Amino acid sequence: MFVDRAQIVIKSGKGGDGAVSFRREPFVPNGGPDGGNGGKGGDVIFVADRNLRTLMDLRYMKKYKAASGQPGMSSHKYGKGGEDLVIRVPLGSVLIDEASGAFMADLSEDGARFVAAIGGKGGQGNSNFKNSVRQAPNFAEAGTEGQERTIVIELKLIADVGIIGLPNVGKSTFLAASTGAKPKIANYHFTTVAPNLGVVELANTGYVLADIPGLIEGAASGAGLGHDFLKHVERTRLLIHVLDAAGSEGRRPLDDYHAIRKEMAEYSSLLTIKPEIVCLNKMDVADTESEVYQALTQYLDANQIDYYRVSAYTGLGVREVLNTVARRLDEIDRDAAERPDKTPLYGDQSQWMRVMRIEDDIDYKVIKIATAEDGAFELSGKQLHKIFDSTNFNDPESLAYLDRYLRTNGVIRKLKARGLEDGGTIRIKDFDMEWHDDE
């Protein structure tokens, strides 16, 4: 089964908690704190693998989580970092952040890697909190949580040339006549329901052909198989537009040509500027004297559109088209080499990473305030939860650190404005604290 779209949930590993430990050795009086730091959580990394062809494996396994970092230990021993989780995807996979719809990465080269979720930072052990005033800190820092994201993965086939056209015009037959591929061929519409690939082998060169399944009117709006397969046209460098010159389906080939061009334009303006070669197929049964055929060739000539008369069934003209395609691909490659400043098709990946980190940083610092039905004030936030998890409620210094954090960030002031009184309840992560105003 050809699967070209999948949606999965990924989560990087949580950072290990810092350790609370004190030296206890013979003949070493008043041993100080020696708790080590926790290890970093594992990242979630996507890697392009040329040996994969579809997203089948991701279709059935929906959640992926990297390993968490180990907690710190005594004697200043650091916890081991969590192992990264590597998810392998086919070449041509595009990663999209489901929540924002933002493009993340385009993995089009074998071995290309992208870190989609960064592991949580390990917490500091109590040895890091020792100072001239606090000689024996009885608390440590909790490791931060990993990042969780829903990722949409779209596979866009990497082929040099795409064969396009309305259903039953002979695209699969042309692919079979040009390559060693053996697509399903029959005299009914939508014989092909998944793209087929084939390799053209010429004397001094070769390239990959992709038979794009039949597009229909309204494809750009999602009709038929439009949205599923128009995206595969984007990656190609050149298009072979196959028309039924014989009009054997009862349609005018010129109308077919305009219909396909219209759908490509509505899907993406980039498709309309791709180099194109038109193949007038089924010339073995076409009536070259008919008004329909004459109207088609006159339009193509008037608009200086390259076209070739072929019969994929008999092989007429196929070799000439393949040689022409090879020459055109060389010209396209030379043109691209002369334009090193060309804009990437899918945008700037590094820019998305910067935005992602900025948004995470802002979200990390936010403290949300809500009022529960029982009158308690509920506080939540990533950094707040991290400090709360690190709090030792049996240690006055640790409690004072939490109190200072709430006051410094204006939380207590906002709670008072909302009606918090002496003896009121503040709730953090289902833990209720009775608040008393010592000011």
132-143 residue pLDDT tens = 777 788 888 888
Q: What is the pLDDT of residue 214?
A: 56
Based on the domain organization, do 147 and 165 belong to the same domain?
Answer: no
Give all strands of the β-sheet with 93-97 in edge-to-edge order.
63-65, 5-11, 148-155, 93-97, 103-107
**In residues, how long is the chain?**
439
181 band by pLDDT with thresholds 50, 70 and 90: low
Write phi, then psi, for 359 (nearest 5 degrees). Answer: -65, -40
Distance CA 21, CA 193 (A): 64
- Provide the β-strand partners of residue 373: none
Domain end call among 271, 306, 337: 337
Kindly state whether residue 349 falls inside one of the protein's structural domains.
no
Same domain for 287 and 140?
no
- Give the domain-ending residue among 133, 155, 177: 155
Instruction: Tell whether 348 is covered by a domain.
Output: no
- Is residue 161 over pLDDT 60? yes
Number of domains forming the structure of the chain: 3
What whole-number distance in Å separates Cα of residue 130 and Cα of residue 319? 79
Same domain, 173 and 314: yes
In a domain? residue 201: yes
Do 61 and 184 lie in a common domain? no
Is residue 362 pLDDT above 70, yes or no?
A: no
Confidence of residue 255 (pLDDT cuts 50, 70, 90): very high
**Between β-strands 238-244 and 377-380, what pairing exists: parallel, antiparallel or unpaired?**
unpaired
Q: Is the pLDDT of residue 340 over 70?
A: no
Burial of 268 (0-12, 13-18, 19+ CB in 10 A): middle
Beta partners for residue 94, in sequence order: 106, 154
Q: What's the whole-number average pLDDT of the chain?
A: 81
pLDDT value of residue 1: 43
For residue 124, CA distances in Å to 17, 121, 144 come to: 7, 9, 11
For residue 38, give the nearest of 432, 389, 407 by alpha carbon: 389
Looking at residue 5, its pLDDT comes to 78
**Judgement on whether residues 284 and 396 belong to the same structural domain of the protein:** no
For residue 298, the enclosing domain spans 161-337
pTM above 0.85, yes or no: no
Q: What percent of the chain has pLDDT over 70?
A: 82
- How far apart (Å, rounded) are the C-alpha atoms in residues 412 and 433? 13
| pLDDT cut 90: percent of the chain above it | 29
| Beta pairing, strands 93-97 & 103-107 | antiparallel
Sign, CA torsion 182/184/189/195: negative
Same domain, 422 and 298: no
- Give the per-residue pLDDT at 283: 94
pLDDT digits (tens, 9 = 90+) for 405-418: 888 888 888 988 88
| Sign of the alpha-carbon torsion through 122, 125, 128, 132 | positive
Do residues 426 and 415 touch, judged by C-beta distance below 8 A? yes
Give me the pLDDT at residue 420, please.
Answer: 86
How does residue 307 score in pLDDT terms, banded at 50, 70 and 90? Answer: very high
Co-location of 182 and 105 in the same domain: no
Q: Could you report the per-residue pLDDT of 374-399, keeping only the tens digit for each?
A: 888 999 888 888 888 888 887 787 88
Residue 346: inside a domain = no
Integer Cα distance of 427 and 432 in angstroms: 4
Residue at 343 is within a domain:
no
